[in-house]
Amino acid sequence: MSYSSNQFTYYLNSSHYCKKFLVKDGITSPYFEIETEPGFFTKTKYDIISLKITFQQIGESMSILKNFDYYQYLMCTMLPHIADTNPYKKVFQKLRFMIICSFTKFISLLHIRDYETIKKWNILSKKTLELVAEVVNGYRKGVEFREISNSINGDNEFCIFFNLDIEKMDEELNNYYL
């Protein structure tokens, strides 16, 4: 699964529409259910209780996804209030797209029950979640972008695993926010 620049452009053009993806989080509910995100994933529902029998680490996955959903929605609602010239705007767009790609990959892996690869997804997504939290919290605390920018280059292993071309994403963002 690879993400094209067309998908990223589609994402940018529709990024003003904010919604949470999770209907049921698999933590406070026995089900994991997500809404459709056009171009990325369709509405999906899984019984987490039965999945825990065959894959114990599913709880960690649910926790990561719940936090991803929180941050993607938070960034989306913050974006209209950030000037196009503020570097945080581009970073938020990039991180939000990475979260959507992470959701997409997880759902495809869960669908084919590739639990070994989900373990790797957990590791890489957890590192990305830490980065997202650091960037969002830095912005909210008023930390200047240059103080935080060194940690935003993207984890190369994450980009390979999710087939993301960060340079192309940066080009698209620069064209979008002329």
Residues of the chain with pLDDT under 70: 1-5, 147-155
Q: How many structural domains comprise the chain?
A: 1
| Cα–Cα distance for residue pair 129/65, rounded to 1 Å | 9
Residues 6+ apart with CB under 8 A from 104: 1, 37, 40, 41
Report pLDDT digits (tens) over 55-71.
989 999 999 999 999 99
* pLDDT tens sequence across 102-116: 999 999 999 999 999
Helices 115-140 + 58-78 axis angle, to 10 = 30
Q: What local confidence, expressed as pLDDT, does residue 11 receive? A: 87
Report CA-CA distances (Å) from 48 to 20, 53, 88, 172: 19, 9, 36, 38
pTM (predicted TM-score): 0.91
pLDDT of 155: 65
Q: Is the separation of the CB atoms in 61 and 122 below 8 Å? A: yes
pLDDT at 1: 46
Domain containing residue 172: 5-176
Look up residue 53 and give its two tokens: 């029998």
- Write down the pLDDT at residue 117: 96
SS3 57: coil
